[in-house]
Structure 1
Amino acid sequence: MTEVRVPTLGESVTEATVATWFKKPGDSVAVDEMLCELETDKVTVEVPSPAAGTLADIVANEGDTVGVDALLANISEEGNAGPEETKPRAEPKSEEPAKEEASSEDSGKSSGGSGGGSIDVMVPTLGESVSEATVSTWFKKVGDTVEQDEMLCELETDKVSVEVPAPAAGTLSEIVAEEGTTVQADAKLAVLSSGDAPAKQASEPKGEDKPQPEEAPKGDTQYSTPPAGDGGRGRSDVEDAPSAKKAMAEKGVSRDQVQGSGRDGRVMKEDVSKAVEATKAAPQKAETKQAPRAPSPAEDADREERVKMTRLRQTIARRLKDAQNTAAMLTTYNEVDMTEVMALRKEYKDLFEKKHGVRLGFMSFFTKACCHALKEVPEVNAEIDGAEIIYKNFVHMGIATGTPTGLVVPVIRDVDSMSFAEIEGAIAEKGKRARDGKLSMNDMQGGTFTISNGGVYGSLMSSPILNPPQSGILGMHKIQERPMVVNGEIKIRPMMYLALSYDHRIVDGKGAVTFLVRVKEALEDPRRLLMDL
C-alpha cells in the first residue's frame, strides 16, 4: 500500500483545500498520473500518483482542508500485475474443456473470464407511491471495472435522486437503460460480469499497445512542456484543470489560444489569465460602425437554449398547479415587530451555540410560534380526505428549502415536542441534506404544516402556495426597518410581513386571522411561548 500525501505547498503556505478528485476508489492509476488538485491561497497544486496501481481509498474528500504532508489517499499496487496477466491468455483456452462441466450457459458471455457469471443491476426500491424514475447520469461506461457498492448511476424520481450501487464487483458488460430513459420499478438497468478485470484487459491490446503506460515514466516526454498551441493534446490522458475550463468558457478563450504550463502541457487557470492579457495587448482592428440591425427570429432561435425539465421540476409544476385547482386558496397578511426576538437572540446566541453546538436563528422562534398557534386553531393543521376532515394531534413541520435543482420541503417530525436547540439542529441537518441532494422519500412525507422563508432571498411580500394535502402555509419575508407609531411616538422598528395561505374549504377567515395574530403575539413577546399563553 502506497500513501498519497500533500506535497510541499510553497513558502509560508501551511494548508490547502482539496478542490477536485479526478479518480475514484477502484480506478486504476499510472505513475505520475494526476489524482487530485489542491487549492491554496495563491496557487493550484497538482498531486500526481507516486506509484502505479489501484486507488484503494480517499482519505481527504473534496472541500476538506489539509496540512502539508497530510494523508490524501492510499494506492494499492496490485494493479501492476494487470499487464503481466495478459501473457498467459492462451492457457485458459486449453483448460476450457475441464471448466465446461462447472460453468453455466453464461460462461459463453464472458470473453476469457475466470468462470464468473452475469449479474443484473435492477432499479432499487423508489419509495411509497413512486412507480418510475428517469436515468439521470451514468458514472461508468461499458467495460469499466467496478467494486461492490461503487455507485454506477443516478436515478431521478418525482421527489428525490436515487443512487444505484453495484451489487457485486466485476465489469460493466452492458447498459440496458441509457441516460434519459424512463424505467419502471424493478426494471433492469445494466448487466455486470462477475469475472475479474483480466477479461477487460485482454481486449485492450487490440486497440493500442498495453505496456505503453508503464514505459511512459522512463522517457522525459512526460515532464516536458509541449509547444505553444499543442497543450499536450497529443496525449489522450492529459486533462485541463476544471478551473481553467471554467475560465476559458467565461472569458470566451478557445483552447488553441492557451499554452499550458502544467504537467504534460495541462492548462491551468493562470494560463488562461495570461492568454486573455495577451489578447488585450494585441493591436485591435478598427471596427467599422454600422447601423444597429434588429436580429431576425431565426437568429434569435440560434441564441436560445432548450433544456428538458427534470422530473423534480415537472413534479413541482404539477403539484403547485394542482393546489391552485383543488383548494379554495386564500391569503391573509399581518406584520410583526421583530425587536424582542432580535434582542433575545443577540443576548443569548453565543451561549446557545456554546452549549448546544448549533447556531440560534429565527426559524426556531417561528416554528415554536406556529406550533403554539396550531393548538388554538387546529383546522389549519388539518386536511380534507373525501368528505371527512382529518385533525392532526401532532405537528410535522415542513421547511421549504431552495436547492440548485428546485424547491423541496423536508419534514421535521413531532416538532411540537422539540426544544429550540433540537429544532435548530434538525433544520440545519435537513437543509444540508437537501442542498446535497441526499434527502430520502421518507424525509419529505407526512408534513402537516409548512413554513416558507422568502426573506432570505430579499422578498418583502408574497403569497405562498399550499403544499397539498396541507391546509396552511406561513410565508416569512425580509426584515426591514420602518417608521412605526409606538405609544404615540414615531420609532424605527425592524418589521416583517407575514402571509398565511390557507384552504378556505375547512379554514374560515376568523380561524386564519386568529392563527396569524397568535403567531404575531408570540414573536413580539417571546415570553408567551415559555408560559404557553
Structure 2
Amino acid sequence: MATEINVPTLGESVTEGTIGEWLKQPGDAVAVDEPICSLETDKVAIEVPSPVAGVIGELKAEVGDTVEVGAVIATVEAGAAPAAKGEEAGRAAEQRQENKEESKEAPASDASQTLSPAVRRAVLEHGIDPSTVKGTGKDGRLTKEDVIAAAKAKDDTPAPAKPEEAPAPTAAPTGTRNTERVKMTRLRQTIARRLKGAQENAALLTTFNDVDMTAVIEARTKYKELFAKKHDIKLGFMGFFAKAAHLALKDVPSVNAQIDGDEIVYHDYVDISVAVSAPNGLVVPVVRDVDKKGFAQIEKDIANFGKAARDGTLTMDDMAGGTFTISNGGVFGSLMSTPIINPPQSAVLGLHRIEDRPVVVDGEIVVRPMMYIALSYDHRLIDGREAVTALKVIKDAIEDPTRMLIDL
C-alpha cells in the first residue's frame, strides 16, 4: 500500500515552496523520518522527511516546481528496494550498438577516387574545392591545369567593397568560452526582490563613523578564558555591538521603529536580526530580547544560529520579526559598505574589518585598531540628527564598554 508524502506546514503566512533537490529517486529505500527532498521557501530551505519506511514509488513534482502546503509530492511503497534488473544486459546492448556504429566505414568520396596525385597536390596548395571545378580531362576528370585556372580566377575576383561606416573586424576569441544558466533558488529570488523593494520603497541614506576597538580587544584578551570556562562559549565582538546597539535604540526610539502605512510602530523591546551567511544566501535569524540578555546568552544565540544556517536547519520562527539588523561584513574583509535595510525595519548597522591605522590621541599620532561602522536608515522616519546620534552612542559604548554596564 502506498503512503503519500505531503508538503508540510512551512510557517505563518507561507503557503508554498519550491522543490530544490530530490534526495531520493523511485526505487530507493527510505527509512522513517529520512529526508527525501529539500524544499525552498521564501526564507529557508527545509528537508521533507518520509513518514514511513519503504521504497520511493512515484515523484509527483520536479526540481523547480512550486508546490503548495498539503500537496502530494511523492509516494512510498512498503517493502525493500527492488534489485536492478537487466542492467548488465542493457549495458551490453549499448556497447554492441556503439561498437557497431564505430565499425561503420564512411563511404569514400568520388572526387578522391578520380583525382591524380598531381591534382590532389594542386588542390591542397591552392585551396580549391574540386567539386566546384569542371574537369576538362578524359571522362570529365580534373587536370592540374583546371585547378590552376580555377585558382587564378579566384584570385582575380575583386573583393566586395566595404561600407565606410563598417567597423574594423575584431580578432575572434580563442580557447574554450563556456556559459552556464542556473535558475535562481527561491531564497535568492526572495532576497533579490526584498532588497530591490527596500531601495524602491524607502528613502535610504547612510552615515559613517569609525571606532577605536582597543578597549573591546583588551577586555576580550583579559577575560576570554574565564568567560569561556564559565559560559562554555567564546566572547566575541557581536555581543559588544548588540549591547551597544541596545543603548542606541533606547536613546533614539525611531531607529528601532518601523513604518506601517501612515503610522509609525514603536517597539519597547529590542530584537536584533543578525545577518548570517548560509549556503543558499544571506539569512537573518533574530536574537530576541537583547535588552534583557547578557553577553553570554547573546553569544550563544548567535553561535547557534550560525551553526543552524550552515547545517540548513534554521526555521521560519528563527527569522520572524526583528526590529533592527546588524551585518558584519568585516568577517569577509570588507573595509566599508552601505548596508541595505531589512524591511520592514528602518535601520541596519554595518560592521567592517579591524585594521591598525594612525590616529591622533591627545595631540599625538598613535597606531590603534580601528573599524569603520555604517548606519543605513530610512530617512522617511529617521532624521539625520537621530541617525548620527545613534551611531555615536554605539561608538562611545564600544570605545568605553563600562557604559554598557552602568547603562550610560
| Higher normalized contact order (CA 8 Å, seq sep 6+, divided by chain length) | 2
Counterpart for residue 25 of structure 2: 141
- Residue identity matched to 1:152: I
> Offset of 1:207 from its aligned partner?
2.8
2:178 corresponds to which residue?
303
Distance 1:427 1:407 in 2: 15
2:86 alignment partner in structure 1: 207
Matching of residue 345 in structure 1 with residue 244 in structure 2: no
Tell me which amino acid in the other structure corresponds to 1:177.
A
Which residue does 2:359 correspond to in 1? 484
1:172 to 56, 66, 80: 56
Report Cα offsets for 1:309-342 as digits up to 9, x if no partner. 1111111111000000011111111111111111
Counterpart of 2:216 in structure 1: which amino acid? Answer: V
Q: Give the structure 1 partner of residue 343 of structure 2.
A: 468
Task: Count matched residues.
Answer: 329
Q: Partners in 1 of 2:370 and 2:34 — Cα distance? A: 51
Cross-structure match for 1:122: 6
Equivalent residues in 2 for 1:178-197, closer than 5 Å: 178-193=62-77, 195-197=78-80
* Change over 3 Å in CA distance of 1:196–1:518 after alignment to 2: same
Structure 1 residue 405: deviation in Å?
A: 1.5
Distance change (3 Å), C-alpha of 1:205 and 1:179: closer
With over 3 angstroms needed to count, the CA separation of the structure-2 counterparts of 1:331 and 1:142, relative to structure 1, is same
Gaps of 5+ in 1: 1-116, 210-232, 235-291
Partner of 1:415, secondary structure, is: coil
Output the CA distance in 1 between the equivalents of 2:280 and 2:400: 38
Letter in 1 for 2:331: V
Corresponding position of 1:454:
329
Equivalents in 1 of 2:179, 2:361: separation in Å?
A: 54
**Cα distance 1:374–1:206, how it changes in 2: closer, same or farther (>3 A)?**
closer
Structure 1 residues 206, 516: CA separation in 2 closer, same or farther (over 3 Å shift)? closer
C-alpha distance 196-404 of structure 1, shift in aligned 2 (>3 A): closer
Specify the SS of the correspondent of 2:33.
coil
Separation (CA, whole Å) in 2 of partners of 1:130 and 1:490 = 56
Q: 2:206 aligned with 1:322, yes or no? A: no
Give deviations 1:28-58, integer Å, cap 9, x for gaps: xxxxxxxxxxxxxxxxxxxxxxxxxxxxxxx
Mapped to 1, the partners of 2:171 and 2:243 lie a distance apart of 59
1:382 lines up with 2:257 in the alignment: yes
Q: Report the Cα distance in structure 2 between the residues aligned to 1:379 and 1:408, rounded to whole angstroms.
A: 24
Q: Which residue of 2 aligns with 1:157?
A: 41
Using the size of structure 2 for normalisation, the TM-score is 0.77
Paired with 1:144 and 1:477, the residues of 2 have a C-alpha distance of 48
Asked if the contact 2:20–2:39 (Cα under 8 Å) also holds between the matched residues in 1, the reply is yes
- 1:494 pairs with 2:377: no
Letter in 1 for 2:219: L
| Counterpart residue identity of residue 361, structure 1 | G
Q: 1:400, CA displacement in angstroms?
A: 0.5
- Separation (CA, whole Å) in 2 of partners of 1:129 and 1:317: 19
Secondary structure at the aligned position of 1:309 is classed as coil
Distance 2:402 2:223 in 1: 14
Offset from partner CA, 1:476-515 (integer Å, 9 cap, x none): 1111111111111111111111100011111111111110
* Structure 2 residue corresponding to 1:354, chosen from 229, 242, 252: 229
* Corresponding residue to 1:528 among 386, 389, 403: 403
- Correspondent of 2:386 among 511, 516, 525: 511
User: Could you tell me the TM-score, scaled by structure 1's length?
Assistant: 0.60
Which position in structure 2 is the counterpart of 1:313? 188
Shift of 1:166: 1.0
Given that 2:308 and 2:314 are in contact with CA atoms closer than 8 Å, whether structure 1 keeps it comes out as: yes
Q: Cα distance 1:356–1:205, how it changes in 2: closer, same or farther (>3 A)? A: closer
Q: Is the 8 A contact 2:215 2:401 kept in 1?
A: yes
Q: Quick check: 305-314 or 144-153, which moved more?
A: 144-153
Contiguous gaps of at least 5 residues in structure 2: 93-169
Q: For the Cα contact (< 8 Å) 2:46–2:312, is it kept in 1?
A: no
Q: Partner letter of residue 338 of structure 2? A: S
In structure 1, distance between residues paired with 2:5 and 2:291 = 43
**2: CA distance, partners of 1:295 / 1:494:** 48
Pick the structure with greater CA Rg: 2
